[in-house]
Structure 1
Amino acid sequence: MADNIAALASQKADADKQVAVLSQALEVTKTDLKASQNRAEVLSDENKLILQEKAVIQGQFKQLQESLSR
């Protein structure tokens, strides 16, 4: 009986260590995810700005083409 208790206590200690390691890994993963989400948001904002600039340049180009064809 005492051997069983010792074995179970050892298994619990191992499980507790594993939980601690996994909890730490989860926190690191959450931090990485948040950083990735922030970077994706920045890239999305940059993309919107580039698309707006592209539209302006296309409009200017079209006006230039029309003025040259007259």
Structure 2
Amino acid sequence: MAEAHLSGSDRFMRRKEVERETGLSRPTIYRQMAAGNFPRPRRIGVQAVAWVASEIEEWKRQRPLVAPDD
């Protein structure tokens, strides 16, 4: 398996933090991943995964801004 190399300022985010940062629920995150529309997590332990913060930030930057309903 290929090793992920993080930049010195990058960090891992656990799922709850990803939910807070994106406003997405757990099922929506996994649906979006299955559709290829959301970054995939990295395995950080036997039963633990985390997302790379810079990949989540890039995903957020690519989202269209939605105008509020007036």
* TM-score normalised over the length of structure 2: 0.23
Q: Which of structures 1 and 2 has the larger relative contact order (alpha carbons within 8 angstroms, sep 6+)?
A: 2
Structure index of larger Rg: 1
Decide which structure has greater helix share: 1
Structure with the higher fraction of residues in strand conformation: 2
Give me the TM-score of the superposition, normalised by structure 1: 0.23
